[in-house]
């Protein structure tokens, strides 16, 4: 069951890429500027984070990968552990809060800091 | 051959049978696709890069300038609109994840302003680890998966060019597919306009597709201007209707809201409020760029809510429909215009015809200033000809001349005279002047503009209907009062009210000597049964041909077109239609057909030193001064003009131009800083803000100057805020005592863009009454022949200067050789 794999990368026209990059940056900048203009007064914090999200079984940060069965997605045997970390993503549905489990790469800056802090806390 | 064709898919084709398939490539895995959340779009795209530098979804968002997305219901996170957990901002270019405190809980937070809220730091969140949603031109891959290699193999291979083309196509046809790119006709240019036409059908065949193009473009552009997360301030109008105030910033300078525009205000609802929406009309725009929207429905308005509203533009096809209608009438109805006018408009050779009328003994009119010789000549010739053009250079009194013409036409007893212009402002000015002659004037406004305040309110039809004071109208009066109090009437009363109102409108309109309305307004159903033999159109060089035709096909026998083809022409948004010639006015075509415009020759606006260059370069030196140097002396104003009696200078600037934040415009910081210094000097010397106008051709610079002045100006902020800073185009038709022109472009290797158009330069140079200061880079500008001439003129008059404002010195800067001769 072999598949001939075609190469995808390396076909990008550098000029097109530069042009696209410029437009993307412009859009980001414009978005930022328009917010600065719109919200002259700093908004207050309006975040309700239900305390129960912080409880529950997520202490185990070495959760399984989401598609653990296929094998090729999550487990990095060589490093001797999972390369993904389980987190709860907190979203609002209308006025209600809801969490969903997600797996994010271990090297993502989001979890790195969490890990480091936890390590620091442990040392204390 | 290779296997792997497991599910009956063909490689490289994609599967477009599923609704949530990536519109570019056909990937269908729910974990890999997101939906663009812009209401007019709602297309799905995947997070693979394919052959492009950014992923498909990021490509789409950037190309279409869309900014919101929603995840698929079968994706790990479920159907979720990505938004800031704190403020609800949905702009994905601002969003990123952040861990809440130290636990493994993450939320989306916007970069501005929520990430910088101090309270967060106090709460011990590590804000430095904010992780943007879009990284390396791709959505975070753990949130929106990248399709597997298998999936990508099955998908269609799309190039950046194809993406650009299909995005372009979607602007006018949202249902287009990549296959449509191969169809013939998509890239075809429309048939260009001609000088002469066989008949009115051929005329219609050329113009109808151009108007369609422009209408499609206009619709696409306006409907894409939706905005979310608006903060609303509530008020109640005198008519008891709800008014919502909010800031509806334009993303780029293409869309200008005007009073009368229709917007839809929406609230998605919360625990205490059901979802709500209402359509309303813009009744005014405040100086703080706030929009005042009068809502149609006053019931159920969530007036205790201020945040979280959305606004969409409600596009109306009315004006385009009326243009198409006028062309059709022109073609099928033989009585729409006289035979002479018909042939003349189509460019056929016709024998010169004179109108047999007894001429008045004097050509002026009561209530108007005395006419000068060229104005008298204009009035006299116009009255004797079935079709005439009057060219009114800046400040030459074309409104007064037009009013005098209308006065004499009305006195000839050929029925009512129709007076039009493309803009409401021009119609109001004309209506006021004509009314001053003692004629009975009705100013017909679009229904959507009845709530918009007007300087000639007492002349408007809706005002006259309300204030008609006769006994038989008391029934209408009563019903009107009831309607005002209750907001609505019972259906039988409403019927009665409408019938009475229509009859009254008709009666008032019929008894008028003159009807004034915009060109598009002439297609109002309320004028459907009216016939106008005599029609005058002011500012006709600013309307496109079909627009100009609307007032003509109501039976015109005698037509007067007033305008100036040496100033800016009609604004056509669709480049394709503009290239095909829609931007050329009827006035201009008639000039090319050999109709000689009668030129008004005495200008009453500019200091004689200011009119010299425009006269010589745009009007063959024919412009005479109706004002003297003494009348334009700024007495008591202490301003460092390099040459007394020549209130003008070109201020040499060598600062660099930059591309503005939007990426589509330019700005120049040193010029902006010097504009502020000049403004401050004027203000200190006793000039008031309303006397000053700052003109700059670029939106980027306009925004920068406004901001810079209010932040850095040494005087009270409010003073700077009152100063009008605008484009050349929005100053057309108006004047200021002092004009400061910031040219911006300062790049040796590129063109000077906007400033290349001689008509735009003419408008910019002819707005000032007392004085003008031009800021620009002579090295760059002198490459263009007309600018070279302008610079030479300033240099010869010792008005080309540099150095600090309080110590200006003659500049010795070398000009470049102009590229080619301007004709
Ligand atoms: Zn979209
Ligand atoms: Zn795709
Ligand atoms: Zn936010």
How far away, in angstroms, is B683 Cα from ligand 1 center? Answer: 47
Which of B169-183, B210-224, B700-714 has the lowest average pLDDT? B169-183
Instruction: Give the pLDDT confidence score for residue B599 in this predicted structure.
Output: 96
Instruction: Give the pLDDT confidence score for residue B661 in this predicted structure.
Output: 65
CB of A112 less than 8 A from some CB of B: yes
DSSP state of B769: E
A26 vs B662: CB contact, 8 Å cut-off? yes
A31 vs B94: CB contact, 8 Å cut-off? yes
User: Rounded to a whole number, what is the distance in Å from the CA of B810 to chain A's nearest CA?
Assistant: 40
Q: Please identify among residues 19-78 of chain A the ones whose CB lies closer than 8 Å to any CB of chain B.
A: 20-39, 42-47, 49, 53-54, 58, 61, 66
B776 has pLDDT over 80 = yes
Tell me the pLDDT tens digit for each residue of B514-532: 999 999 999 999 999 999 9
A71 has pLDDT over 80 = no
A62 has pLDDT over 80 = no
Tell me the pLDDT tens digit for each residue of B401-424: 999 999 999 999 899 999 999 999
Q: ipTM value of the model?
A: 0.75
The Cβ of residue B492 has, within 10 Å, a number of other Cβ atoms equal to 8
Which of B468-472, B563-567, B705-709 has the lowest average pLDDT? B468-472
Q: Which residues of A touch B58 (CB under 8 A)?
A: 24
Residue entry with tokens 């997520």: A58
How far away, in angstroms, is A108 Cα from ligand 1 center? Answer: 29
Q: What does the domain layout of chain A look like in residue ranges?
A: 45-123
Residue of B nearest to A36 (CA): B112
Instruction: Give the pLDDT confidence score for residue B437 in this predicted structure.
Output: 96
B104 vs A86: CB contact, 8 Å cut-off? yes
A118 vs B62: CB contact, 8 Å cut-off? no
- The 3-state secondary structure of B324-373 reads HHHHHHHHHCCCCECHHHHHHHHCCCCCCCCCCCCCCCCCCCCCCCCCCH
Q: B808-816 — which CB contacts under 8 Å span 24+ positions?
A: B808/B640, B808/B642, B808/B649, B808/B651, B810/B642, B811/B652, B811/B778, B813/B652, B813/B778, B813/B779, B814/B779, B815/B778, B815/B779, B815/B782, B815/B788, B815/B791, B816/B779, B816/B782, B816/B783, B816/B788
Which of A2-6, B165-169, B237-241, B375-379 has the lowest average pLDDT? A2-6
CA distance B658 to B672: 12
Mean predicted confidence (pLDDT) in A74-100: 67
Between residues B796 and B633, which one has the greater pLDDT?
B796
CB of A95 less than 8 A from some CB of B: yes
A16 vs B137: CB contact, 8 Å cut-off? no
Q: Which residues of A touch B99 (CB under 8 A)?
A: 87, 110-111, 113-114
Which of B188-197, B215-224, B375-384 has the lowest average pLDDT? B215-224
Residue of A nearest to B4 (CA): A3
Tell me the pLDDT tens digit for each residue of B706-741: 989 989 999 998 999 899 998 888 888 889 999 999
Residue of B nearest to A49 (CA): B100
Domains of chain B: 33-82+133-179 (no CATH), 232-307 (2.40.30.230), 603-810 (3.40.50.300)
- Residue closest to B239 by CA, chosen among B446, B450, B445, B503: B450
């Amino acid at each position: 069951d072999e598949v001939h794999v075609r190469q995808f990368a390396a076909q990008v026209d550098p000029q097109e890429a530069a042009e696209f990059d410029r437009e993307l940056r412009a859009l980001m900048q414009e978005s930022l500027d328009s917010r600065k203009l719109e919200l002259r007064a700093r908004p207050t914090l309006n975040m309700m984070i239900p305390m129960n999200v912080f409880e529950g079984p997520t202490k185990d940060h070495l959760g399984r990968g989401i598609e653990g069965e296929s094998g090729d997605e999550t487990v990095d045997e060589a490093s001797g552990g999972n390369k993904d970390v389980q987190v709860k993503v907190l979203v609002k549905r209308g006025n209600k809060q809801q969490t969903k489990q997600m797996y994010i790469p271990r090297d993502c800056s989001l979890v790195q800091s969490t890990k480091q802090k936890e390590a620091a806390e442990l040392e204390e | 051959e290779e296997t792997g064709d497991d599910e009956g898919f063909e490689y490289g084709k994609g599967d477009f049978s599923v609704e949530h398939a990536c519109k570019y490539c056909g990937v269908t895995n729910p974990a890999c696709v997101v939906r663009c959340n812009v209401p007019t779009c709602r297309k799905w795209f995947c997070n693979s890069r394919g052959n492009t530098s950014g992923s498909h979804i990021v490509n789409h968002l950037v190309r279409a300038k869309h900014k919101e997305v929603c995840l698929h219901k079968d994706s790990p996170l479920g159907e979720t609109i990505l938004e800031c957990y704190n403020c609800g901002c949905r702009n994905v270019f601002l969003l990123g994840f952040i861990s809440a405190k130290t636990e493994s809980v993450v939320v989306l937070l916007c970069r501005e302003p929520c990430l910088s809220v101090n309270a967060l730091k106090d709460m011990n969140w590590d804000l430095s680890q904010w992780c943007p949603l879009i990284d390396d031109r791709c959505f975070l891959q753990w949130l929106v998966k990248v399709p597997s290699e298998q999936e990508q193999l099955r998908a269609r291979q799309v190039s950046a060019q194809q993406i650009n083309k299909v995005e372009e196509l979607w602007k006018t046809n949202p249902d287009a597919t990549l296959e449509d790119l191969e169809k013939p006709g998509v890239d075809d240019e429309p048939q260009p306009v001609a000088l002469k036409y066989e008949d009115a059908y051929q005329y219609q065949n050329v113009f109808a597709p151009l108007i369609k193009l422009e209408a499609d473009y206009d619709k696409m552009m306006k409907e894409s201007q939706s905005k979310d997360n608006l903060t609303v301030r509530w008020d109640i109008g005198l008519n008891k209707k709800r008014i919502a105030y909010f800031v509806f910033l334009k993303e780029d300078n293409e869309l200008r809201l005007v009073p009368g525009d229709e917007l839809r205000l929406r609230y998605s609802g919360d625990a205490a409020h059901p979802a709500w929406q209402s359509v309303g009309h813009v009744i005014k725009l405040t100086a703080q760029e706030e929009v005042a929207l009068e809502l149609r429905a006053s019931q159920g308005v969530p007036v205790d809510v201020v945040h979280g509203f959305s606004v969409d533009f409600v596009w109306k096809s009315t004006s385009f429909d009326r243009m198409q209608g006028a062309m059709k009438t022109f073609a099928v109805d033989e009585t729409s215009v006289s035979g002479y006018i018909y042939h003349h408009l189509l460019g056929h050779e016709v024998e010169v015809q004179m109108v047999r009328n007894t001429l008045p003994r004097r050509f002026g009119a009561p209530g108007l200033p005395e006419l000068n010789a060229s104005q008298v000549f204009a009035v006299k010739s116009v009255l004797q000809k079935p079709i005439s053009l009057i060219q009114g250079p800046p400040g030459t009194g074309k409104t007064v001349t037009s009013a005098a013409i209308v006065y004499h036409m009305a006195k000839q007893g050929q029925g009512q005279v129709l007076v039009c212009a493309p803009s409401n402002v021009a119609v109001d000015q004309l209506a006021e002047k004509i009314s001053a002659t003692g004629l009975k004037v009705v100013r017909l406004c679009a229904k959507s503009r009845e709530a918009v305040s007007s300087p000639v309110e007492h002349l408007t039809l809706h005002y006259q209907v309300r204030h008609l004071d006769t006994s038989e109208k008391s029934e209408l009066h009563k019903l009107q009062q009831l309607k005002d109090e209750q907001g609505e009437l019972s259906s039988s009363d409403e019927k009665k009210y409408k019938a009475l109102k229509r009859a009254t409108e008709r009666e008032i309109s019929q008894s008028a000597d003159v009807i004034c309305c915009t060109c598009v307004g002439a297609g109002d159903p309320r004028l459907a049964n009216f016939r106008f033999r005599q029609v005058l159109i002011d500012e006709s060089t600013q309307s496109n041909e079909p627009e100009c035709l609307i007032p003509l096909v109501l039976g015109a026998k005698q037509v007067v077109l007033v305008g100036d083809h040496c100033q800016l022409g009609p604004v056509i948004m669709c480049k394709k239609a503009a290239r095909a010639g829609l931007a050329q006015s009827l006035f201009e075509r008639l000039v090319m057909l050999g109709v000689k415009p009668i030129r008004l020759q005495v200008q009453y606006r500019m200091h004689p030193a200011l009119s010299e260059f425009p006269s010589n370069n745009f009007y063959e030196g024919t412009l005479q001064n109706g004002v003297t140097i003494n009348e334009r002396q700024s007495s008591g104003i202490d301003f460092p003009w390099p040459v007394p009696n020549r209130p003008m200078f070109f201020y040499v600037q060598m600062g660099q131009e930059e591309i503005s934040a939007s990426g589509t415009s330019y700005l120049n910081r040193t010029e902006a800083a010097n504009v502020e210094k000049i403004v401050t000097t004027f203000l200190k010397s006793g000039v008031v803000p309303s006397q000053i106008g700052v003109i700059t051709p670029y939106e980027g610079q306009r925004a920068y100057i406004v901001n810079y002045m209010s932040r850095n100006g040494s005087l009270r902020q409010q003073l700077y805020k009152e100063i009008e800073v605008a484009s050349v185009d929005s100053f057309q038709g108006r004047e200021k005592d002092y004009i400061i022109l910031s040219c911006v472009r300062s790049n040796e290797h590129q063109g000077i863009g906007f400033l290349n158009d001689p008509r735009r330069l003419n408008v910019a140079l002819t707005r000032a009454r007392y004085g003008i200061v031009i800021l620009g880079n002579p090295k760059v500008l002198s490459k263009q022949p007309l600018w070279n001439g302008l610079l030479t003129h300033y240099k010869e008059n010792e008005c080309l200067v540099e150095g600090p404002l309080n110590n200006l010195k003659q500049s010795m800067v070398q000009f470049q050789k102009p590229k080619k001769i301007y004709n």
